């Protein structure tokens, strides 16, 4: 089991989400899972994450929900996290 979950709540941020992904790719320790909680995006966030999931050297979990706002995206993340430690990294 990985020791930490890095979670990113996002809404229509496909245009800047690559900054977060590239930062995570540059980490020397890959013992984490990246949980992306998509809060109802209508852009190409899903397709972007799916492409990265195929090529990534760390685990990426994508979860889509109807738009409920930032606080609910955080609440959803906490329901999905199964590691002892976690941290939030914004989508940009």
pLDDT at 92: 75
pLDDT at 1: 65
Average pLDDT of adjacent 10-residue blocks, the chain of 92 residues: 91 96 95 97 97 96 96 96 95 80
pLDDT at 2: 76
pLDDT at 55: 92
- Rounded CA separation 13/28 (Å): 25
- Rounded CA separation 12/30 (Å): 26
């Amino acid at each position: 089991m990985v020791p930490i979950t890095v979670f990113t709540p996002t809404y229509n941020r496909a245009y800047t989400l690559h900054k977060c992904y590239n930062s995570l790719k540059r980490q020397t320790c890959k013992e984490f899972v990246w949980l992306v909680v998509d809060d109802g995006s209508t852009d190409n966030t899903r397709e972007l994450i799916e492409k990265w999931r195929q090529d990534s050297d760390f685990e990426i979990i994508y979860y889509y929900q109807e738009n409920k706002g930032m606080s609910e995206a955080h609440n959803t993340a906490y329901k999905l996290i199964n590691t002892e430690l976690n941290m939030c990294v914004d989508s940009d």
